[in-house]
Structures are given as structure tokens and as C-alpha cells.
Amino acid sequence: MLAGVIFDKDGTLFDFQRTWGAWGEKALWQLSGEDETLCQKLADAVGFDRLLSRFRPDSPAIAGTNTETALLLKAHMPDRTEEEVLFQLNALAREATVAEAVPLTPFLTELRNHGLRLGVATNDSEEAARAHLSVTGAFELFHHVFGYDSGYGAKPDPGMLLAFCDLEGLEPSEVAMVGDSIHDLQAGREAGMTTIGVLTGVASVTDLSSHADEILPNIGHLLASETFAAMRPRRAPA
């Protein structure tokens, strides 16, 4: 039976390109110190198409942590430390204007009314995740929010997912992992969870099909999904 759902953040709760595509050019311009040549080098390093204001599907920044992205950027900024780049990157990330994949408050409230325990596992920082969810009013609807820096590792390792189960007293088989990337679904499989892919990131059905038990257009289809029907929630409303 289904007792919990743990979501990725970017590309899952929030539409990836509508959130981070619009943010990318401004962030890279600021990181470069408004140097056109350097800005282009930084864009190339993280797979950002400045003409289209979109991250390319092969961008290492999509599923990577902020620390990993900062290292890629730092390679083109020898006069700055990794810590300085990461600090500015995290600050800029907190300022992103997030675009909800679906209206989150009614969606999450309905899940909670079915008795489900809810979590977030993101390769963004925990601080940024809390900020983004708070802006939408959704933060308090989650029982746990984990970032790559919360002490449980980063996806595709399953540490955040297993921590959610431990804290909630759930078996992984009672939990669905919902995400838009292969990293998300690999973490879910490794944890022993049902895996559900969504198409609000940059990955295609073909990319996700071998890693997902089910693929949905977006999280709003979860309640009508085969997974939800097969694993009917068993707990009282939370």
C-alpha cells in the first residue's frame, strides 16, 4: 500500500525550463561580472543555450549538485575560490522565480488528505529548496525537505530517500519516488521504491522509460495514475 511520496524539486514540483531557463542568463551574467566573453564560457561549461534561454538536455547542471556546478564554473574563474563561486551561485539560486508544474497547494493538500506522508529530495541546497517552497506556500505541506547538503548524500545515491523512510517509519516499498531525471529514478530504484517519471524536466519518455514504473505528463496526474490505483493509501489523513 502507498504510505508516502517523495518528490524531486526542479523539473518535478517546478517546471525546469520555465524556472531555470529564465534565471540562467541573469545568473551567468552576474557570475561573469558582466564580461561577455566569460559569460559565454560559463554558459558553455554548464550547457546553457543563451540564445534560447534554455539548458540543453545534456547540461551537467540539471541533475548535478550546486557544488558540482560551482566546480565547472570555477574552472573559468581562476581568480575566485570554489567557496566564493558556490556562495554566489547559492545566493542567486535562492532568487529564482519558480514556476509550479501544477498549483502545488491544492495538489499537495489532496495527497495529505489521502493520508500520505510527503517529502522532497533535491540536489539543490536545502536552504534554496526551503526558500522556493516557501514562496509558493507549499513548504509546510511537506513532512521533510532534504537537499544535497542535508547530510544524506546526493542523488543518484538513495540516502535522502532512505532517510525519509527512517524518519517516517515507512518501508521503501510503501513509498513512490517522483522525479524528472534518471538520477531521481535511479535513486528510487536503489532505495526499493516505486518510481514515477514526469516530463516537466528536460528528459524524454525514451530517456526515462527503462528507469520508471510509470511516466506521467506532470505530477498533477498522480492521483489518476496506475500506481496510485494499485497502491491505494492506507493511512488516516495527516
Q: Which pLDDT does position 233 carry in this prediction?
A: 66
Domain boundary residue, one of 73, 94, 115: 94
> Can you give the residue range of the structural domain that contains 61?
19-94
Indicate the angle between helix axes 82-94 and 126-136, nearest 10 degrees. Answer: 10
Last residue of a domain, one of 54, 73, 94: 94
Do 106 and 8 sit in the same domain of this protein? yes
Single out the residue in 61, 94, 127 at which a domain terminates.
94
In a domain, 236, yes or no: no
Residues 76 and 119 occupy one common structural domain: no
Cα(18)–Cα(21) distance, integer angstroms: 6
Nearest-CA neighbor of 194 among 215, 222, 169, 175?
175
Could you report the per-residue pLDDT of 23-70, keeping only the tens digit for each? 999 999 999 999 999 999 999 999 999 999 999 999 999 888 999 999
CB neighbours of 91 closer than 8 A, spacing ≥ 6? none
**Are residues 108 and 89 part of one domain?**
no
> By percentage, how much of the chain surpasses pLDDT 70?
97
CB burial of residue 98 (10 Å; 0-12, 13-18, 19+): buried
Q: Are residues 108 and 205 in the same domain?
A: yes
The answer on 192 and 105 residing in a single domain is yes
- What are the tens digits of pLDDT across the range 101-138? 999 999 999 999 999 999 999 999 999 999 999 999 99
Residue 97 three-state SS = coil
Q: In total, how many domains does the chain have?
A: 2
Q: What is the pTM of this model?
A: 0.90
**pLDDT level of residue 206 (50, 70, 90 thresholds):** very high
Residues 63 and 180 in one domain: no
Instruction: Classify 11 in phi/psi space as left (phi over 0), alpha (psi -120 to 50) or beta.
Output: left
Do 59 and 103 lie in one domain? The reply is no
97, three cell numbers: 522565480
> What is the band of 22 on the pLDDT scale with cuts at 50, 70, 90?
confident
Q: Do 188 and 77 share a structural domain?
A: no
